[in-house]
Amino acid sequence: MSTTHRTRAWRTLLAGTLLALLTAGCQTAGPVAPTLPQETQAPPRAAEADTRVAEGERKPRRRRATPRPAAPAPEPLVVAATDVMARLRQQLDDDTCDGGERARHWQRRYAGSPARFATQIEGVLPLLAFVLEEIEARELPGEFAFIPIVESWYRPEAVASGGPAGMWQMIPATARGNGILITEGYDGRFSPLDATHAALDHLADLHERFGDWRLAAMAYNAGEFRIAQAIRSHGSELVASGESRQPTGLASTTYEYISKIKALSCLLAGPGQRRIPLPDSLMVERLAVVDVEEFSGRLDTVARVLDLDEATVRMLNGGYRNGRIDARSPQRLLLPMQAAHGRPELPGLLAEHAAQAVPAPSSVPSATVAAAGGRYTVRPGDTLSVIARRHGLALARLLSLNGLSAQSIIRPGQVLKLEP
């Protein structure tokens, strides 16, 4: 083939190839966008995105709304007695009614009169509910809530021979060792708040050491050293029991201590089954800890400000032995939650009322004010013990002359006899 012919053939082939390519392009759906390098497809950084929004190049995406956490339910100011009992049962051993003959003996002793026993339980329910809340918070055995019944029937003012005091009946050494303040004017053993915290601290330590609520309760009653010694002398796997008197070598009162707790556990685990008439509609007023900051004054002032019964305020805060809060004593009170609820201005109100209660100065000696004819008119700030001391009387004599008791409340303007 000549050069001219080869040139023509190449031109013909090239033209045919171009025609085929053009025909294929016309049959596609449209132009294909070129593939960009990977880094150009990445979303812009935050600063770049903010700039684009400012320049109006694109609208920002609306973020999905984050749901707000649900508001906590308001704390109930009162609770049903049935709820207190149900929560108590959840904290008890499953074998609450398996205490043996001694426990059954104490069931008969406690609830020989079911109606009277129910009345006693109703009377202590606010303090029992407070102790139960503390027990639940610490995850301690519910049986510990019965110790103040065994010790004192939840009487904060109880005093026993030999030194134990308060509803938990703590001796001074144990009390101080667990953080209770005892001074001339303040004894935290008589404070349900301080005593409960200290007693449960002590019981928690005992429970951790001995690993069983029975042994911990025995140690609370007899002393930690005696229980540790009894366990060491046992020499084998120990099952603590009041009925079988294990561990051996302890006083009978310590074994009875456990039998009493077992009896109370059984009685209150199902009061309806034992014909104890606790009404289903019974409500329990909850107690709350209230900070009174730098208030110095009388508990009676607190009662007046909150419109509470003075005897109730004194009973719940019996640590203030002369009924007065001062800078050297704890400045927090245990009060009915309903009375203190929503009162952030309480410290200011207390200070205002305390200032108003200060009596005007008098030029007449206090021992002779309104004491003519063997009578004395009570003034603000007076107490029975102060009046008796001021007039040279024994307190018991003053109480007898006026038909009063140690728990009686006196008020300004009240006239007291100083002689028959």
Q: What angle do CA 102, 146, 161 make, to 5 degrees?
A: 85
Q: Give dist(CA 284, CA 88) in Å, integer.
A: 14
What is the pLDDT of the chain when averaged over all its residues? Answer: 78
Q: What is the pLDDT of residue 23?
A: 47
Residue 286 scores a pLDDT above 80:
yes
Highest mean pLDDT among 307-311, 355-359, 412-416: 307-311
Percentage of the chain with pLDDT > 70?
71
Q: How many CB atoms lie within 10 A of CB 2?
A: 7
Q: Reply yes or no on whether the pLDDT at 369 is more than 90.
A: no
- The boundaries of every CATH 1.10.530.10 domain in the chain are 78-274
Q: For residue 383, which amino acid is it? A: T
Q: State the Cα–Cα distance between residues 376 and 374, nearest whole angstrom.
A: 7
DSSP 84-153: HHHHHHHTS-TTTT--HHHHHHHHHHHTSSHHHHHHHHHHHHHHHHHHHHHHHHHT--GGGGGHHHHHHS
Is the CATH code 1.10.530.10 the one for domain 78-274? yes
Alpha carbons within 13 A on the beta-carbon side of 75: 11
Choice between 396 and 81, residue whose per-residue pLDDT is larger: 81
- Known active-site residue 151: yes
* 49 DSSP 8-state letter: H
Q: How confident is the model at residue 397 (pLDDT cuts 50, 70, 90)?
A: confident
- pLDDT, residue 3, reads 46
Q: Is the pLDDT of residue 155 over 50?
A: yes
Residue 308: which of 342, 350, 336 has the closest Cα? 336
The domain over range 366-417 is classified in CATH as 3.40.50.300: no
**Boundaries of CATH 3.10.350.10 in the chain?**
366-417
Among residues 151, 224, 256, 310, the one annotated as catalytic is: 151
Residue 96's pLDDT band, with cuts at 50, 70 and 90, is confident
Whole-angstrom Cα distance, residue 290 to residue 302? 11
Taking 60 as the threshold, does the pLDDT of residue 105 lie above it?
Answer: yes
Write the pLDDT tens digit of every residue in 6-39: 444 445 444 454 444 444 444 444 444 444 344 4
Structure confidence by residue, pLDDT tens digits, 237-247: 788 898 989 99
Buried b (16+ CB within 10 A) or exposed e, 342-363: eeeebbebbbebbeeeeeeeee
How far is C-alpha 19 from the chain's CA centre?
Answer: 93
Q: Determine the average pLDDT of the residues in 295-313.
A: 87
